Amino acid sequence: MTRLNLVEAINLALKQEMKKDKSVVLIGEDIGEDGGVFRVTDGLAKLYGNERVMDSPLAESGIVGTSIGMAIAGLKPVAEMQFEGFIMPALDQLINHASRIRNRSRGRFTCPLVVRCPTGGGIKALEHHSDSPETYLIHTPGLKVVMPSTPYDAKGLLISSIRDPDPVIFFEPKKVYRAIKQEVPEEEYLIPIGKAKIVKEGSDVTLITWGSLVKTSLEAVQHISDINVEVIDLRSLSPLDTSTILNSVKKTGKVVIVQEAPKTLGFSSEIIAIINEKALYSLEAPIERVTGYDVVIPLPKNEDLYLPSQEKIIKAVEKVTKNAI
Amino acid sequence: MEKVIEKFSVKYLQILNENGSCDDNLKPSLTNKEIKKMYELMILTRAFDEKALKLQRQGRLGTFASIKGQEACQIPSAIQFLKEDLVVPAFREHGLYITLGLPIEMLFQSWSGDERGMKMPDKVNILPISIPVGSHPLHAVGAAMAFKLQKKKSVAITFFGDGATSEGDFHEAMNFAGVYKAPVVFFCQNNQFAISTPIKEQTASSTLAQKAIAYGFEGIQVDGNDVFAVYKATKDALQKARNGKGPTFIECFTYRMADHTTSDDASKYRKDSEVKKWEIKDPILRLKKYMIKKNIFSEQFELETKRNAEQKVEEAVKKAEAIPKEKAEEMFNYTYEKLTPELKEQKENVRNENK
Ligand SMILES: Cc1ncc(C[n+]2csc(CCOP(=O)(O)OP(=O)(O)O)c2C)c(N)n1
């Protein structure tokens, strides 16, 4: 086994799936010779040629739109969006077509494609390079949305995504692209879409989060000695692993949700609704959420003021504990 | 029956060649003073660029996109814009901002990750940088449609790269411009790369200028390292737009001398020897050669120009770095004209947290 970071783990998954299945092709801006701006596809063009690792013109709607066609015609395209801000031109293709082909044709045509997309802030980048747009996609029936937070999960989840019969948006939290190294097996393994992971067991408070904030949250709760926090990494945002959430809530009675996206209609809103519907009487305190604000994420100078920090997370855990009846 | 029903041709314009020789028949009428002014602005822009790259390496600036090599695409055109015109740029347009009068400290401020750097002073009619590639030309077309409706003589000018011509919105912008005969100038800086993607992989068209033909208006390719060619093409296009004759597409054929941005490593995808070839075509060097030939250049002028530029840039850095951080709660104030109740509450919380 080798210790890999997230970028390397994704690269390995692509490499192995491309070897195993000739129908897997990659398409995106600068993904060939350059290996992608984050080097996720490094070396793959050399290995599999420009016909299967396609450097595309600068056009996201073009990339996703042609990927849909390729998928319908029997390939398994894995498209790369360079940054989350630039998935926007492709939303028309994703929301109006990719997600609906199965329904529209009553199953006659399907769209097994993966759209890989770096996401999130905390890397001191230019505008449009620090957003968290997952809600737009989760909200779209017919799209699956996953966001691994570790190298191990990234590899297993990407393989599941490529083999999935439906379109999957595979978000890559770029803040932790190289921040975590982990043992990642060479051998094939799958992380199922739709399964959350309890990354730290606890009995007092359930902390639910995803993406790069899993790391931040785990670091934060280390500073809390008197409250035993259970940390859940959702990994899969749609479909959502409701039962892992509810079981934990029933155990702890107290919930904190940590989300980087703006507050209003962020994914935490939906999680709160589900808990209210299915486990309201288990709650001992109002649910706390630590989120971004309802503003454009500030540029680097003031970015940290926006992002959920360890301090904000600790405060929320303490508050929900204090508020418990 | 079968017959040819349309035929097209695309013009190329070069006035000042690599050796500094000038085609006097085509040369726009410019005073020596105006020529010197362009030279000074190009030197100033380059001094800014070099300083920005240095600051970035020292961790004093964020990711930065160098303009090196493209100065002649921007300065000779920007000096002709009128106060009432609107400029709609992409992100590699430092030469435009400097020429149009944005204080250089604000450019540094912006590239260091502070929103306030893009708050244009009154009468500096250029929009903030636009990072999403290819979607902003539509805004120029819309502004031009507005000018037409308002019976103004203003023109909208939009700048973008070769990569931008692949985006769908770019084509919608071109189509609208043609359909509405909008007073707009499309200014494409074809520096032959979109990050690592060479122009040959960006489009199968042999020129970008010819794309305009499909939308019903003129496209011209000019030598983008030639101040006079860019000046003339811009002048003609502006005049045409002001006279109600509609849009023009100008392809400035040039070369991106630096990495795409400071996060990029161009040695991964292009050869140094290719870059070297373009060094001798440097737009500033070329103008210098011309000025020497015409006896309007001296060593002292060069020294002074460089010294002035460096001084201006150093002062700007000092000013920029002395600006205190923006208050935390300011992030809420520009979402809407007035704070919503929800934003008011969030702002209050942030104010208390950051007391
Ligand atoms: C819609 C969109 N997709 C991708 C990017 C990432 N990106 C930033 S600059 C760039 C290349 C732009 O090339 P070009 O338009 O030729 O301008 P240049 O950088 O050469 O000035 C890319 C792909 C982006 N900013 N916007």
Mark which residues 293-322 of A lie under 8 Å from B by CB. Answer: 293-296, 298-303, 305-306
**Which listed residue (B92, B260, B286, B290) is catalytic?**
B260
- Tell me A176's DSSP state: G
Q: Which residues of B touch A (CB under 8 A)?
A: 62-63, 91, 112-115, 131-135, 163-164, 166-169, 194-197, 201-203, 263-264, 268-269, 325-326, 328, 330-332, 335, 340, 342-343, 346, 350, 354
Digit-coded pLDDT (tens) for A268-288: 999 999 999 999 999 999 999
Q: Does residue B281 belong to any structural domain of this protein?
A: yes
Q: Is the pLDDT of residue B292 over 80?
A: yes
Residues spanned by the domain of B290:
11-324
For residue A89, the ligand 1 atom closest to its alpha carbon is 1
CATH number, domain at B297? 3.40.50.970
Q: What is the mean pLDDT of chain B?
A: 97
Work out the pLDDT band at B354, boundaries 50, 70, 90.
confident
Measured distance CA(A53)–CA(A89) in Å, rounded: 22
pLDDT grade for B353, boundaries at 50, 70 and 90: confident
Question: How far is it, in rounded angstroms, from Cα A45 to Cα A50?
Answer: 6
Q: Report residue B355's pLDDT band, with 50, 70 and 90 as the boundaries.
A: confident
B343 in any annotated domain: no
Closest partner residue to B168 among A33, A89, A295, by Cβ?
A89
Q: Where are the alpha helices (DSSP H) in chain B?
A: 32-57, 71-78, 94-100, 104-111, 137-149, 168-179, 199-202, 211-214, 227-242, 272-279, 283-293, 299-322, 341-353
What residues of A are in contact with residue B201 (Cβ under 8 Å)? 55, 57
Residue B16, min C-alpha distance to chain A (Å): 32
Question: Which ligand 1 atom is the nearest neighbour of the CA of B167?
Answer: 1
- Asked if residue B188 lies in contact with residue A58, where contact means CB atoms within 8 angstroms, the answer is no
pLDDT tens, residue by residue, B298-339: 999 999 999 999 999 999 999 999 999 999 999 999 999 999
8 A C-beta contact, residue B208 and residue B251: yes
Partner-chain contact B169 A302, CB within 8 Å: no
What CATH architecture is A2-184?
3-Layer(aba) Sandwich (3.40)
In a domain, B339, yes or no: no
In tens, the pLDDT along B118-132 reads 999 999 999 999 999
A197-322 topology per CATH: Rossmann fold (3.40.50)
pTM of the model: 0.97
Single out the residue of B74, B17, B14, B10 nearest to residue B207, CA to CA.
Answer: B10
Between chain A and chain B, how many beta carbons pairs sit less than 8 Å apart? 113
A58, A294, A298 member nearest B166 (Cβ):
A58
Residue of B nearest to A29 (CA): B197
Distance A86 CA to ligand 1 centre (A): 10
Beta strand pairing call for B197-198 and B86-88: unpaired
ipTM score assigned to the predicted complex: 0.96
What is the distance in angstroms between the Cα of B22 and the nearest Cα belonging to chain A?
A: 36
pLDDT tens, residue by residue, B228-270 = 999 999 999 999 999 999 999 999 999 999 999 999 999 999 9
Q: Whose CA is nearest to atom 17 of ligand 1?
A: B161
* Total domains in the fold of chain B: 1
Residues of A in contact with B211 (CB under 8 A): none
Render A117-146 in DSSP notation, one character per residue: EEE---S---TTSS---HHHHHTSTT-EEE
Catalytic residue among A97, A128, A129, A139: A129
Yes or no: say if B186 and B215 are a contact pair by the CB < 8 Å rule. Answer: no
Residues from chain A contacting residue B269 (CB–CB below 8 Å): 33-34
Q: How many other CB atoms are found less than 10 A from the CB of residue A91?
A: 16
Expressed in angstroms and rounded, the spacing between residue B194 Cα and the centre of ligand 1 is 6
Measured between beta carbons, which residues in chain B are less than 8 angstroms from residue A264? 342
Could you tell me which of A266, A281, A303 has the C-alpha nearest to residue A125?
A: A303
Pocket test for ligand 1, best of B133, B191, B211 (most atoms within 8 A of CB): B133
- pLDDT per position as a tens digit, B24-54: 999 999 999 999 999 999 999 999 999 999 9
> What residue ranges of chain A have pLDDT lower than 70?
none
Of A172, A124, A83, nearest to A304 by C-alpha is A124
Amino acid at B308: N
Q: Is B39 a catalytic residue?
A: no
Q: Which residues contact B7 (CB under 8 A, 6 or more apart)?
A: none
Q: A233, A208 in Cβ contact below 8 A?
A: no
The reported pLDDT for the residue numbered A1 is 74
Type and span of the H or E element at B87: strand B86-88
Contact by Cβ (8 Å): A48, A55: no
Indicate yes or no: CB of A33 within 8 angstroms of CB of B196.
yes
**Chain A residues with CB inside 8 Å of B112's CB?**
300-301
List, in sequence order, the alpha helices (H) in B101-165: 104-111, 137-149
- Ligand 1 centroid–CA B53 distance in Å is 19
Helix and strand tally (H, E) in chain B? 13, 8
Residues 145-164 of A with CB under 8 A from B: none
Mention every residue, 6+ apart, whose C-beta is less than 8 A from residue A131. Answer: A84, A85, A119, A120, A121, A297
Q: Which ligand 1 atom minimizes the distance to the CA of A58?
A: 23
Contact between B347 and B332 under an 8 Å Cβ cutoff? The reply is yes
Q: Which residues pair with B290 in a beta bridge?
A: none
Q: Is-catalytic flag, B256?
A: yes
Residues of A whose CB is below 8 A from B354: 305
Give the CA radius of gyration of chain A.
19
Q: Does residue B343 have a pLDDT over 80?
A: yes
Q: Tokens 């992989």 appear where?
A: B201
| Residues counted in chain A | 325
- Whose tokens are 């190009």? That residue is B42
Shortest Cα distance, chain A CAs vs residue B156, angstroms: 24
Residues of A in contact with B114 (CB under 8 A): 299, 301-302
> Do the Cβ atoms of A142 and A169 come closer than 8 Å?
no
Q: Structural domain boundaries of chain A?
A: 2-184, 197-322
Residue of chain A with shortest Cα separation from B196: A30
B177-228 pLDDT, tens digit per residue, is 999 999 999 999 999 999 999 999 999 999 999 999 999 999 999 999 999 9
| Residue B136 bears catalytic tag | no
| Ligand 1 neighbours (beta carbon < 6 A) | A 29, 58, 60, 82, 86, 89; B 92, 131-133, 160-164, 191, 193-195, 256, 260
Residue B350 located in a structural domain: no
Name residues whose C-beta falls within 8 Å of residue B303's C-beta, 6 or more positions apart in sequence.
none
Q: What is the mean pLDDT of chain A?
A: 98
* Ligand 1 atom showing the smallest separation from residue A30 Cα: 23
Report in angstroms the alpha-carbon separations of A122 from A116, A304, B346.
19, 7, 20
CB contact under 8 A, A301 and B131: no
Distance of alpha carbon B273 from alpha carbon B173, whole angstroms: 37
